[in-house]
Amino acid sequence: MIDNKIVSEALKEQIGFRNSNDPNDPVLDYVLTKTESGLYVNDVHELINTKNMNYLLINYDTDIEDFDILLTYLKDEKCLSNNGFFKAIQETTGNTPENGIFWDGSATNGEIIFYNQKTYTVINDTTENPDKNPTNFTLINSSWTPISQQKSLSDELKTFVEGASNDLMSDLISDKAVNRETKPLLDTFILYTDVAHITSKELKQDRRVGFEVNLRDTRGLLFALKSIRTQFDGIVNFDIQIHTPNSLEPLFSINIDHSKISSYEVTKLAETIMLGVDKETNEIAGNSTFFISYLENSLPLPVNAIKRTLKFLDRSALRCSRCPSDVKNWANASPYFNLTPFYLLASDIPTNENELWDIEKMVYVEDTNFGLNFSCSIICNETNVIIENLAEFSPALQWHTAYKILEAFGFSTRVSGLGDEIKSSIKSKAQFDTNSENSQWLKNYNMIRQGLRETFKNLDFPCFTPPIRYGITKKIL
């Protein structure tokens, strides 16, 4: 999974656009001119400049026809005249829009207007065009052509960069799936597949008990907790907390209503809990370490946990051919995360029992699960890996944004501002470079895209290359 919103935010400053030297061309928003990589989209193709982009990308209303003096226009019908758009105030025939009687004739403060091949912002309400009263305008439109642009060139270019970013993410994942380079990760893992024997009990001692979980690779792995399974010798209602080493209060609290005496009770979560990345900061939470635990003093007397014993650290067991199913199951999970049971003595529990404790005082064990079990999966979140390698994406993003702009040029509908001959020439060139197998530009574009794919193919990252199978190394104190 890739969070396109986060990736787009990170990528948008990697590339930029150059402003035109012509003072009559639109001035782009400053954020579009910044480039962390030093790469500009304008440098990719000679057709990409602010003049062409302004006339060919902005859709001013392409269904509007040139004013025809012989036609009758009904109220609110539009026409194109003198490089501006007009709307009829009332039915009219033979009256040119410039007279301001039959055509909408006012411009209001803050309105964006296109007039005589220029774009203006209205400073004060006016019935005069920029030629007659320039002090009322900051390069915006005439009082005779007050139909606003719905988008500025800057807004339009931002959508092209965002679209190019989304395309790259989609292509990257689909390319790897098609070429069988994506490694399927752990799906629907259950820690213990069998029920514990009711004679095996963990006697209540008023401690905090549970599991410490450590993701082996912090670069994009997410631990998806789906359900909690419990086994106790009595009926009990209590809460399980999930902490990280840098969360004073629990990130999650799960209520367990255990009503099956000595049998497993499955508590399905209303929503899968994703652990490994802080949603607010996109940072790895506690180096991908978290604790799933509960307080034994929340269990009423004489209820005790029924425990399963599984020697998580027995490396030889992971390789045996006749091991119990639990051991084999854990062998499948071991490349992705470590899990170690622990307890915290009652004397080391904070006054506020739900607060994070001194993790240095945790005692690790290997012969119990404190009645806990869970169902989870390990999934890929490529977002962080991409953000860590933004520089690798910059050339591909530069060229793909250019490709999308050229593609838009090739399909551009009729707009005002450029002569038909010029527009036809631009469209013809854009179509050739984005479609013809003889286009050197297209060959360079494909080479850049392939280079990005090869770069990620060689990354040492579980979601792109098969993970290394390595044993469990957690030290028991």
Check pLDDT > 80 for residue 362: yes
CA distances from 304 to 201, 209, 356, 446 (A): 6, 12, 24, 64
Q: Give percent of the chain with pLDDT exceeding 70.
A: 69
The tens digit of pLDDT for each residue in 102-146 reads 665 444 455 555 555 455 566 666 656 566 665 654 433 333 333
| Interacting residues of 199 by C-beta distance below 8 A, sequence separation 6+ | none
Q: At residue 296, does pLDDT exceed 90?
A: yes
Region 393-400: mean pLDDT is: 92
Mean local confidence (pLDDT), 404-427? 75
Mean pLDDT for the chain?
A: 76
* HEC-encoded secondary structure of the chain: CCCHHHHHHHHCCCEECCCCCCCCCCCCCHHHHCCCCCEEHHHHCCCCCHHHHHHHHCCCCCCCCECCCCCEECCCCEEEECCEEEEECCCEECCCHHHCCCECCCECCCCEEEECCEEEEECCCECCCCCCCHHHEECCCCCCCCCCCCCCHHHHHHHHHHHHHHHHHHHHHHHHHHCCCCCCCCCCEECCCCCCCCCCEECCCCCEEEEEEEECCCCCEEEEEEEEEEEECCCEEEEEEEECCCCCCCCEEEEEEECCCCCEEEEEEEEEEEECECCCCCCEHHHHEEEEEEEHHHCCCCCCEECCCCCCCCHHHHHCCCCCHHHHHHHHHCCCEEEEEEEECHHHCCCCCCCCCCHHHCEECCCCCCCEEEEEEEEECCHHHHHHCHHHHHHHHHHHHHHHHHHHHHCCCCCCCCCHHHHHHHHHHHHHHHHCCCCHHHHHHHHHHHHHHHHHHCCCCCCCCCCCCCCCCCCCC
pLDDT category, 43, cuts 50, 70, 90?
very high
pLDDT at 201 over 80: yes
**Residue 90 pLDDT:** 81
Mean per-residue pLDDT for 331-348?
87
- pLDDT tens readout for residues 421-472: 777 888 889 899 998 889 999 999 999 988 887 777 666 666 665 443 333 3
Task: Judge whether residue 386 has pLDDT over 70.
Answer: yes
Q: pLDDT for 232-256, tens place per residue?
A: 999 999 999 999 888 889 989 999 9
Q: Over the Cα atoms of the chain, what is R_g?
A: 33
pLDDT for the residue 220: 67
Choose between 473 and 52: higher pLDDT. 52
Least confident of 31-35, 120-124, 253-257, 403-407: 120-124
Quote the pLDDT of residue 238.
95
pLDDT tens-digit map of 51-66: 888 877 765 444 566 7
Higher per-residue confidence, 377 vs 240: 240
Provide the pLDDT for residue 351: 94
pLDDT at position 137, please? Answer: 44
Comparing 137 with 301, the larger pLDDT belongs to: 301
- Name the more confident of 392 and 208: 208
Kindly report, residue by residue over 71-111, the tens digit of the pLDDT.
888 887 777 666 556 778 788 888 877 655 666 544 445 55
- pLDDT at residue number 323: 62
What average pLDDT score do residues 471-475 get?
31
Kindly tell me if the per-residue pLDDT of 225 is higher than 80: yes
In this prediction, residue 270 has a pLDDT band, given cuts at 50, 70 and 90, of: confident
Average the pLDDT over each of 4-8, 145-149, 184-188 and give the range with the smallest value. Answer: 145-149
Give residue 122's pLDDT: 63
The mean pLDDT value for 371-394 works out to 81
The pLDDT assigned to 467 comes to 40
